Structure 1
Amino acid sequence: MDWKTLLCEKRQREHTSVGNTSDPRNEFQKDYHRIIGSASFRRLQDKTQVFPLDKSDFVRTRLTHSLEVSSFAKSLGQMIFQNIIIYRDREDVNEEVKDKICNVLECAGLIHDIGNPPFGHFGEDSIRDWFTRNLNKLEFKGQKIDKVLTEQMLGDFYHFEGNAQAVRLLTKLHFLIDKNGMNLNYALLNTIIKYPVSSVQINKNSGDIKDKKMGYYYAEEEIFDAVTNSTGAIGCRHPLAFILEAADDIAYKTADIEDAVKKGFISYQQLLLELKNVYANKCVDEGEKKEYNRAVEKLELYYNKAIENKVSHPEQNAVQRWIIYVQGVLLRCASYGFTSNYNEIMSGNFRKEILSVSRGNAIAYALSDIAFKYVFQSKQIYKLEISAGTIIEYLLDKFANAAVRYDTDEKMSPLDKRLIALISDNYIQAYKIHSAEKDESEKLYLRLLLVTDFICGMTDSYAKRLYQELNGII
């Protein structure tokens, strides 16, 4: 792969008007403004990052998380490609290419979670679980739906992913001018496809990170092929997907700990003890151990400084300062992970996360495992997730049953007609455009996708409010 091809500026719909020669922005900078001006991006401000339906104004939302990922991704791009320009003899990398790469990464950070449903990752789990339990019960014209749809169509629901939904939203559902969604450039679209495999190609035991999850639906297979054929990233990840992934990991691993301390899930002393006594043995070599021990020492140092300076909340102050320090460490480590494996990444043969092959691996592992232990397994989060799951379950029960008979010659009940009428006109229009001239099974598949489109487009508050209204709770 080479950067001239990887930074493909092609779009689904090419510009037909004469370009504005006074516009100094490149094609990648133009997409930044398309994204931040979109309703889909604004809705991220009311979507869960970790704490569903949380009333605090401190903890992260999908919007603030996406802004952090965007910033980290751009910073990583600058660090990595400045290093490549200085120390590697690559004819296809120069300052102009570096700037374009940073523009792509900045935009990719903003949209990497744009397809996620309400209530965070538990929302994804709830959707997958509902379809796994119900597709063999729903009937269409006397047949069970799991006997009507193809293996890949079924797999799209059984393995539902916010990543695949993002591709769908950006290329079809964001109906502003025509059927091409936001009409973003192909380099950007390819960067957000972390898993360039379909639902029938998932292989969690392959040892290759790209096979871990589904990256696109059957409905977007043609778009996926067009994008990857144009960028040259065929059968592998786009190199910038590794950088975006690292930026995402750094953002959520550090933020989860900061938010957890702020909300009282874990104390400074508990965090320090965990770091000292549980995770230090995860280091695989002296370099990683030195980086890890230095980080632990910094946490104690910041606490002692806060005590010395008589800060009102020394524990929280120490953790917040430490999080900033750790972010810097992990950015530096991710940069090393990419540059030290550059040739393998560019040949499409690199199979791991770039943080996992750096000195930051033990720190990153400790952060995520501590958050899982103290936050994600807490009774408070379980109760919030049960509430969120109840809402998702109810909405799918109602709307999926209605969608099965919609746009067919089968009679719909007055209730089902009203339920379909609640779905966004944009999503209905997208369904009608893309279902035209399709056979019955594919139309059924697209109608079920219409339901997930509708639910994924909801904010946490809207999903909760719609659930209450449909149940007569005022």
Structure 2
Amino acid sequence: MEWNRLLCGDRIRPIKKREGSQDLRSEFEKDYHRIIGSASFRRLQDKTQVFPLDQSDFVRTRLTHSLEVSSFCKSLGQNIARKIVTDIKDESFDPTYQQDVCDILQCAGLLHDIGNPPFGHFGETAIREWFKEHLPELEYESENGEKRKLTDILNPQMQNDFYHFEGNTQALRVVTKLHYLVDEHGMNLTKALLATIIKYPVSSLDVDKNSPDVCCHKMGYYYADRELFRDIEDSCGLNGRRHPLTYILEAADDIAYRTADIEDSYKKGRISFDMLVRELELRRHEDQSDPEYRSLIESLKYRYGKGIEHGVSDPGEYAVQNWIVAVQGKLIYLATESFVNHYNEIMDGSFGQELLEGTEGKHIVDALGEIAIKYTFTSEPIVKIEVSADRILTYLLDRLVPAAVYYDTDVKLRPIDSRMISFVSENYKKIYHIYSQGKSEEEKLYLRLLLVTDYVCGMTDSYAKRLYQELNGLV
């Protein structure tokens, strides 16, 4: 792969430069302003990170998480781009590319969760499970009374798109189509940025969760977006491989949520300082050879002592918050070194791991993840909320999908179905009609099902909950 192609500043819809324009921003800087000013980005403020529908003003939402990931992306980009110039001395990497790398990564951090449905990762699971259970049962009955199973109409990739539904995949649709601003090209962002947010450069037919190559663990694009994907891939010279900056985005995301989950758990009272130290110590005994891990535990204890010394009201909170910052710094350093050490593999597309894999940072993030699962993700309040989220999403899909099956066909909709379809955004419907023109009946049916997932994924937590309550006469 070549950096002059990887940093492609072209857009899906070319923009003519106006003669005499005083806009001195690079194409990637323009991307940043397009994202920040979008309603899709603002809606992240009411989407779950860890604690669904939480009323606290401290714990993170998808918006604050995305801002943190963006910040880590930029820091990693600065470190890595500088090392490519000074240490690796890759002559194909022009020194002027350093700023472009930082700008692209900063934008990618803002976008990485923009396609997530309401209620966090549990929302993704609920949507996948609904289609696995119900899609094989659904039928399409034509005007002449002929009935066919939807699974007999849709091709295998179309079906698998719903069985493997992912917020990451939805993000590409949001920014390239669904965010209707000027036309059907969404935010019309640069191809380098679009390539960076495609974490998994495979279709739903090629998903292999057991593959040693992490790039195959989830799908990266829908059947509906296959031509768009190929355009991005060809323009950036990827040839079926992951964009190098995607590894950096993934590492920034891991660092942000692994550390934030511990801090949020402490603030919510799910874990105390003593419990955190005990759990970290427990995991230290499993690997006495990890000096970085041992030093971080001592660092946490030291900060508790400093909190007492400073006379703070809660030395545990003081210690955890300051320790989290130190952990983030250490992980950023380790991810940077990993990128440099595996530079040639990353650039030839043979690197199939996450950046922290095989580093001392892997032990750290795994420990933090296990602790968060033990004390937070399986706690009764979270489980109750997830059960409620499942009920909400199941109810909406139960009514929206059957309505969408007959939408835009010669079959007359039932009154209840026409009312359910009326809730779907007119912008989403417009996008459906634009991209369904000239398509086969098979693909139109598939696009109508996507219309439902597009609508549901665009919901905030509050909107989904409110709509459910209103439709059930609970308000």
- What range is the shorter-chain TM-score in? over 0.9
Distance between the aligned counterparts of 2:287 and 2:203, measured in 1? 34
| Conservation of the 8 A alpha-carbon contact between 1:242 and 1:354 | yes
Distance between the aligned counterparts of 2:88 and 2:351, measured in 1? 19
Change (3 A) 1:402 1:84: same
Distance between the aligned counterparts of 2:281 and 2:176, measured in 1? 47
Amino acid at match of 2:471: L
**2:76 equivalent to 1:71:** no
Distance between the aligned counterparts of 1:361 and 1:92, measured in 2? 31
Q: Deviations over 1:110-145 (max 9, x none)?
A: 000000000000000000000000001111121111
**2:219 equivalent to 1:214:** yes
**2:279 equivalent to 1:274:** yes
3-state SS of paired residue (1:355): coil
Q: Deviations over 1:323-368 (max 9, x none)?
A: 0010000000000110110011000000100011322111111111
Q: Deviations over 1:50-100 (max 9, x none)?
A: 111111111000000000000000000001111121112211223310100
Distance between the aligned counterparts of 1:380 and 1:72, measured in 2? 30
Distance between the aligned counterparts of 2:285 and 2:359, measured in 1? 15
Aligned to 2:440: 439
Distance between the aligned counterparts of 1:449 and 1:282, measured in 2? 47
Which of 147, 150, 154 aligns to 2:152? It is 147
Amino acid at match of 2:371: I
3-state SS of paired residue (1:360): helix
3-state SS of paired residue (1:140): strand
Q: Deviations over 1:346-396 (max 9, x none)?
A: 000001000113221111111111111111111111001001111100110
Q: Deviations over 1:192-224 (max 9, x none)?
A: 000000000001222000000011100000000
| Conservation of the 8 A alpha-carbon contact between 2:32 and 2:107 | yes
Higher mean displacement: 87-96 or 141-150: 87-96
Amino acid at match of 1:449: L
Distance between the aligned counterparts of 1:157 and 1:282, measured in 2? 41
Distance between the aligned counterparts of 1:280 and 1:2, measured in 2? 44
Q: Which residues of 2 match residues 313-324 of structure 1 at below 5 A?
A: 313-324=314-325
| Conservation of the 8 A alpha-carbon contact between 2:88 and 2:340 | no
Amino acid at match of 1:120: G
Aligned to 1:364: 365
**2:29 equivalent to 1:29:** yes
What is the Cα deviation at residue 18 of structure 1? Answer: 2.2
3-state SS of paired residue (2:205): coil
Aligned to 1:450: 451
Amino acid at match of 1:43: R
Aligned to 1:239: 244
| Conservation of the 8 A alpha-carbon contact between 2:46 and 2:62 | yes
Amino acid at match of 2:384: K
What is the Cα deviation at residue 16 of structure 1? Answer: 2.8
Aligned to 1:88: 88
Aligned to 2:144: none
Distance between the aligned counterparts of 2:348 and 2:287, measured in 1? 30
Unaligned runs of 5+ in 1: none
| Conservation of the 8 A alpha-carbon contact between 1:108 and 1:188 | yes
Distance between the aligned counterparts of 2:86 and 2:67, measured in 1? 29
Aligned to 1:191: 196
Which of 263, 269, 272 aligns to 1:264? It is 269
Amino acid at match of 1:166: A
Aligned to 1:14: 14
Q: Deviations over 1:216-260 (max 9, x none)?
A: 100000000000111011211100000000000000000000000
| Conservation of the 8 A alpha-carbon contact between 1:118 and 1:458 | yes
Which of 225, 229, 232 aligns to 1:224? It is 229
Q: Which residues of 2 match residues 338-357 of structure 1 at below 5 A?
A: 338-357=339-358
**2:268 equivalent to 1:290:** no
3-state SS of paired residue (1:292): helix
Unaligned runs of 5+ in 2: 142-146
Distance between the aligned counterparts of 2:285 and 2:149, measured in 1? 53
Q: What TM-score, normalized to structure 1?
A: 0.98
Distance between the aligned counterparts of 1:33 and 1:421, measured in 2? 32
Aligned to 1:2: 2
Q: What TM-score, normalized to structure 2?
A: 0.97
Distance between the aligned counterparts of 1:223 and 1:267, measured in 2? 48
3-state SS of paired residue (1:184): coil
| Conservation of the 8 A alpha-carbon contact between 1:355 and 1:361 | yes
3-state SS of paired residue (1:169): helix
| Conservation of the 8 A alpha-carbon contact between 1:130 and 1:393 | yes
3-state SS of paired residue (2:239): coil
Q: Deviations over 1:301-327 (max 9, x none)?
A: 001111122210111111001000100
Distance between the aligned counterparts of 1:371 and 1:450, measured in 2? 35
Distance between the aligned counterparts of 1:24 and 1:328, measured in 2? 33
Distance between the aligned counterparts of 1:404 and 1:430, measured in 2? 17
Aligned residues: 470
| Conservation of the 8 A alpha-carbon contact between 2:273 and 2:316 | yes
What is the Cα deviation at residue 19 of structure 1? Answer: 5.3
Q: Which residues of 2 match residues 88-237 of structure 1 at below 5 A?
A: 88-141=88-141, 142-237=147-242
Amino acid at match of 2:307: A
| Conservation of the 8 A alpha-carbon contact between 1:400 and 1:448 | yes
Distance between the aligned counterparts of 2:226 and 2:373, measured in 1? 34
Aligned to 1:306: 307
Change (3 A) 1:388 1:20: farther
Distance between the aligned counterparts of 1:32 and 1:238, measured in 2? 19
| Conservation of the 8 A alpha-carbon contact between 2:273 and 2:320 | yes
Aligned to 1:422: 423
3-state SS of paired residue (1:136): helix
| Conservation of the 8 A alpha-carbon contact between 1:275 and 1:366 | yes
Aligned to 1:48: 48
Q: Which residues of 2 match residues 367-446 of structure 1 at below 5 A?
A: 367-446=368-447
| Conservation of the 8 A alpha-carbon contact between 1:336 and 1:358 | no
Distance between the aligned counterparts of 1:107 and 1:338, measured in 2? 20
Distance between the aligned counterparts of 1:281 and 1:19, measured in 2? 65
Amino acid at match of 1:162: G
What is the Cα deviation at residue 282 of structure 1? Answer: 4.3
3-state SS of paired residue (1:321): helix
Distance between the aligned counterparts of 2:125 and 2:8, measured in 1? 34
3-state SS of paired residue (1:339): helix
